[in-house]
Amino acid sequence: MMILSVAEHVVRRQFKATGEKIIGPGGIKMSRPTLMSILDIFKVGIGVKVFSSEGQKYRCLARPLKENHKSILKCLGISENIFCWNG
């Protein structure tokens, strides 16, 4: 829970510095998203496909990330490639 609270603080600080806003649950524009709003944005919006080919497992996004996802990941310094994996 503490890590998530830090993530909320970092996102809010970054949005304040840039003046950026995201569209949260319910279509509300937010410049200070709460932890629950951030979690809800990710809970319903990201699909990951896993498949195997020639003995290798691959993971990739089922559809492109929305701008909300990209904004939050950028604030947190997390690459969009976090959802893709092969191994």
What pLDDT does residue 25 have?
A: 83
pLDDT reported for residue 9: 94
The boundaries of the domain holding residue 64 are 2-86
**Count of domains observed in the chain:** 1
pLDDT at 3 exceeding the cut of 80: yes
Angle between helix 67-76 and 35-45 (nearest 10): 130
47, 61 Cβ separation under 8 angstroms: yes
Question: CA–CA separation, 83 vs 66, rounded Å?
Answer: 14
14-69 pLDDT, tens digit per residue, is: 999 999 999 988 889 999 999 999 988 888 778 888 989 888 888 888 888 999 99
Which structure tokens are listed for 70? 């990209």
Q: What pLDDT does 87 receive? A: 61
User: Which range, of 37-41, 42-46, 72-76, 78-82, averages the lowest pLDDT?
Assistant: 42-46
